Amino acid sequence: MALGVSSIHAVTDPLIGYVDSVPTVAEEISSVDQNGLTIRKFRYHSRDNQNLIFAILVTPRDVTGKLPAVMFYHAGGSKAETEESAAKYFATRGFIGMAISIPSICSNCPETIVGGNPKTDREKSILYVEGGPENNVLADAMIAALEGFNFLAAHPNVDSANMGVTGTSWGGYTTTMMAGLLTNKVKAAYSIYGSGYWDRGSFWSRYFGNLGPEDLETWLTYYDAGRRANTITASYYIDAPTNDTYFWPEAVQGTLDAIPSNKNHSFNPNRNHSQANSKSRYQWMVHYLKGGELPGFARPTLVSALDNDGQLDLTVDLQIPAGVSITSANVWYADPDLAVTERQWISLPTQKVDDGTYTAQLASSLVQDKVMYFMRFEDNLGNYTSTDMGYADEVIDPVSSNLGKYPVTFSSELGAFYTLETSATMKSGSWSDVSTFKAVDSTTTVLAKRDKDLNKQFWRVRRDDDE
């Protein structure tokens, strides 16, 4: 009989022992001052000195004090140098950035060495767990990513309370894995088409049938990013193309469903392994790691999908941060029976009820075809967000107690008292108290009720130090 997931995880997890491991430098390669930045290249020991990992660290030149930091994980077949420009972009804007050549994922990267040999065999043996999950090539990759993050966190000029992880494709998968493994060490995560739940629909799911049941359970437990997602505490975003060859919408949705923390996403219609907006990653990191210097993203929630004489009436509530306005809103639908890359996503108009409420209808013919659908929004800053993926044959009844209410999530101090306030103008003296509550965790979520009579409404949370 196969061991249960929890018992396997507790006994033989090959990654969890490296969550706090800070590696040492094995070799300094170069350090160059360029355009106000210092670009340092070096290698660090990894996995108990078995491996050497090439890294690029980019800091503002002559940096003093503490800065937020971002770890960049490259795509499959790529290497650290492909993320160097992104690290430089962030560093010129008040961050410290680091990229590594990830073993078993990088290509043409002989500077990263595993067991004494260059590691360039991308994707080779990624499902192999014979003899234990520690024998899978992704163990080297994920341990290198963990230790790279911890090396960056230990940098004297890094504000370790404000760190982010991000990456594309295999790097997006690594981003999701790191957010789950490192938990509250990561404050913000931005995955560009890299999710978990590969067994629900992915490029690799076709190969799962070649594994025995025990090996499949072992691989999913330790190397499927979705199975790690329930411990994510970071503010998490995933940019998800609807026609992605590798990470299908079903896998992305499964990952999002597993994440308990503040999360957002966009399903981007008729795209295959390409981004919707390359600037959104930077805006996400600035918002969460630099105290909201840039606005956050709107967050839509499908609150009801009701039968109306055979058609489906959709209602979406939208949280819109200060400084953000919606410039477009559409429903997109496709035939789920077609192969992912062959689905043709078609748009339908929406009706704006007010700034925070949009409605739309799916015709009875679409309901009969059981199409999959989502509502997608674009804001004035060029960012996209969407609802979860829905299916036209599923009715969603509104939860009356929560209708028109929106979660406000913030970092809190255990045992401290806070007051939720609201205002229609954000002007001094216009704020009024809504409720007072005691924090029972390091992250607190309260429901803010929207006043339908107001065109705009804002909320904030005040700590009551006198309690």
What percentage of the chain carries pLDDT values higher than 70? 91
State which amino acid sits at residue 33. D
Q: What are the tens digits of pLDDT across the range 199-243? A: 999 999 999 988 999 999 999 999 999 999 999 999 999 999 999
Q: With 70 as the cut, is the pLDDT of residue 384 above it? A: yes
Within 13 A of 462's CA, how many CA atoms are on the CB side? 15
Q: With 80 as the cut, is the pLDDT of residue 194 above it? A: yes
Which SS3 state, helix, strand or coil, does residue 53 take?
strand
Helix 280-289 vs helix 84-91: crossing angle, to nearest 10 = 50
What is residue 9's predicted lDDT score, i.e. its pLDDT?
41
What is the rounded average pLDDT of the residues 359-371? 97
- Segment among 111-115, 288-292, 302-306, 455-459 with least mean pLDDT: 455-459
Residues whose CB is less than 8 angstroms from the CB of residue 33 and which lie 6 or more positions away in sequence, other chains included: 39, 61
What is the rounded average pLDDT of the residues 155-173? 98
Q: With 60 as the cut, is the pLDDT of residue 121 above it? A: no
What is the rounded average pLDDT of the residues 346-359? 94
What is residue 3's predicted lDDT score, i.e. its pLDDT?
33
Q: What are the tens digits of pLDDT across the range 21-67? A: 999 999 999 999 999 999 999 999 999 999 999 999 999 999 999 99
Q: With 70 as the cut, is the pLDDT of residue 275 above it? A: yes
What is residue 2's predicted lDDT score, i.e. its pLDDT?
34
What is the rounded average pLDDT of the residues 455-460? 76
Q: What are the tens digits of pLDDT across the range 72-104? A: 999 998 999 999 999 999 999 999 999 999 999
Contact 415/439 with Cβ under 8 angstroms? yes
**Confidence band of 262 (pLDDT split at 50, 70, 90):** very high
Q: With 60 as the cut, is the pLDDT of residue 170 above it? A: yes
What is residue 6's predicted lDDT score, i.e. its pLDDT?
37
Q: With 90 as the cut, is the pLDDT of residue 398 above it? A: no
What is the rounded average pLDDT of the residues 249-275? 96
What is residue 38's predicted lDDT score, i.e. its pLDDT?
98
What is residue 464's predicted lDDT score, i.e. its pLDDT?
83
What is the rounded average pLDDT of the residues 181-186? 98
Residues whose CB is less than 8 angstroms from the CB of residue 324 and which lie 6 or more positions away in sequence, other chains included: 295, 296, 297, 298, 379, 380, 381
Span between the terminal Cα atoms of the chain, in Å = 55
What is residue 142's predicted lDDT score, i.e. its pLDDT?
97
What is residue 430's predicted lDDT score, i.e. its pLDDT?
82
What is the rounded average pLDDT of the residues 171-195? 98
For residue 363, is it left (φ>0), alpha (ψ between -120 and 50) or beta? beta
What is the rounded average pLDDT of the residues 133-157? 96
Residues whose CB is less than 8 angstroms from the CB of residue 49 and which lie 6 or more positions away in sequence, other chains included: none
| Beta-ladder partners of 349 | 330
pTM of the prediction? 0.84
**For the chain, what is the mean pLDDT?**
90
Structure tokens at 258: 């597993």
Q: With 90 as the cut, is the pLDDT of residue 408 above it? A: no
Spatial separation of the C-alpha atoms in residues 65 and 461, rounded to whole Å: 28
What is residue 402's predicted lDDT score, i.e. its pLDDT?
47
What is residue 122's predicted lDDT score, i.e. its pLDDT?
46
| Residue 258, CA distances (Å) to 4, 197, 255, 440 in order | 19, 10, 5, 22
For residue 244, is it left (φ>0), alpha (ψ between -120 and 50) or beta? beta
DSSP 6: H
Which SS3 state, helix, strand or coil, does residue 335 take?
coil
Q: With 60 as the cut, is the pLDDT of residue 1 above it? A: no
Cα 428-433-434 angle, rounded to 5 deg: 135
Q: With 50 as the cut, is the pLDDT of residue 193 above it? A: yes
